[in-house]
Chain A
């Protein structure tokens, strides 16, 4: 197989690693410039959300889940709060 791929790449040329490096860099750098790289605020956001929600509903520390996900050109901030009991406490 290796022989074959070597043989093929003699004609097609391998996908150059420098090209891959450049593409990866362009993506990560554009995210970081947009401020997407700086997610240091997530723990603080989680803490403050807890405080606000805690004013109305009695929730546990570990019942709140904040997650930031990036895909393509957009980012999704996902907030998951599990309410205690069957919701009758509302």
Chain B
């Protein structure tokens, strides 16, 4: 039996290196910290990295492809996080070819995970090839990770198009909720006119904003140590991710909440913008 409120969330971007895996780990860990049984699934077949970012790289025995091929069952492949009791990861395989992700196989594994977990967070690989398409196909909601930079915004727009046309929800005529997460944001550079502003990115992509993760030393420090940002020491990035997860869970009323924090953020920017 599928858990009644079980949700599949894909973390995607089109472009590589924008923070999908960091975001998957941070969101997954925060969902778990708040008491939701959560699994983060690495869809980057051949180039697994989620295990490293979450600090369980030495505990990988079986992987996603093993489960699809029935070489192992799901409980053998799942790695239980040592910090958060509600947090699990399903690692990608390191060696096999990406065609190993058959749609039937992925569906079977995701359905099995939905029986156990409140949230299944799918960490998509870059690009719009098979791995990325499989990561998003079964999603109920999507987090689109975007850097305030031309190639990232363009690729995000492409991936939004793919979500709108090639996901299962799109095929069934159902809504697939999309959330914009802007990462590596630097208000100081925006102020100088060297970086696209939040408003610019939002105007172009036209999807609701989930959060803004500032460019922060905490992110590299966290990945260096294999600790999801949201389980690490207090930092601007941790706070931003925690707030984003709050909104993902629909904390507060959508309008008042988003207005509250957006205007707070804008006030902050206005201070920076004010003539010296």
Query: Which chain A residues have a beta carbon within 8 Å of chain B's beta carbons?
Result: 14, 16-19, 21-22, 24-26, 28-29, 32-33, 37
Contact = CB atoms under 8 A, between A and B. Distances in A.
A18 B188 CA distance: 13
B193 A16 contact: yes
B243 to A, nearest CB: 25
Given A32-B154, A32-B157, A33-B161, A25 B204 contact: yes
Contacts of A16: 192-194
Contacts of A33: 157, 161
B69 to A, nearest CB: 32
Interface of B: 149-150, 153-154, 157-158, 161, 190, 192-197, 200, 203-204
Contacts of A26: 204
Nearest to B199: A22
B273 to A, nearest CB: 13
A32 to B, nearest CB: 7
Given A24-B150, A26-B204, A29-B204, A18 B193 contact: yes
B149 to A, nearest CB: 8
B193 A17 contact: yes
Contacts of A25: 150, 153-154, 196, 200, 204
In order of increasing CB-CB distance, the 10 nearest A-B pairs are: A16-B193, A22-B200, A29-B157, A18-B193, A21-B150, A18-B196, A21-B196, A25-B204, A25-B153, A17-B194
Given A32-B157, A33-B157, A18 B204 contact: no
B193 A19 contact: yes
Tell me what chain B mostly uses at the interface: helix, strand, loop, or mixed: helix
24 contacts: A16-B194, A17-B194, A18-B190, A18-B193, A18-B195, A18-B196, A18-B200, A19-B193, A21-B149, A21-B150, A21-B196, A22-B203, A25-B150, A25-B153, A25-B154, A25-B196, A25-B204, A29-B153, A29-B154, A29-B204, A32-B158, A32-B161, A33-B161, A37-B158
A27 to B, nearest CB: 11
Contacts of B197: 18
Given A17-B193, A17-B194, A26-B204, 11 more contacts: A18-B193, A18-B196, A18-B197, A19-B193, A21-B150, A21-B196, A22-B203, A22-B204, A32-B154, A32-B157, A33-B157
B161 to A, nearest CB: 7
A33 B205 CA distance: 11
A22 B154 contact: no
Given A28-B154, A32-B158, A22 B196 contact: yes
B203 to A, nearest CB: 8
Contacts of B192: 16
A67 B195 CA distance: 35
Nearest to B193: A16
Nearest to B195: A18
Q: Which of B149, B197, B204 has the most CB atoms of chain A within a 10 A radius of its CB?
A: B204
Nearest to B205: A29
Nearest to A29: B157
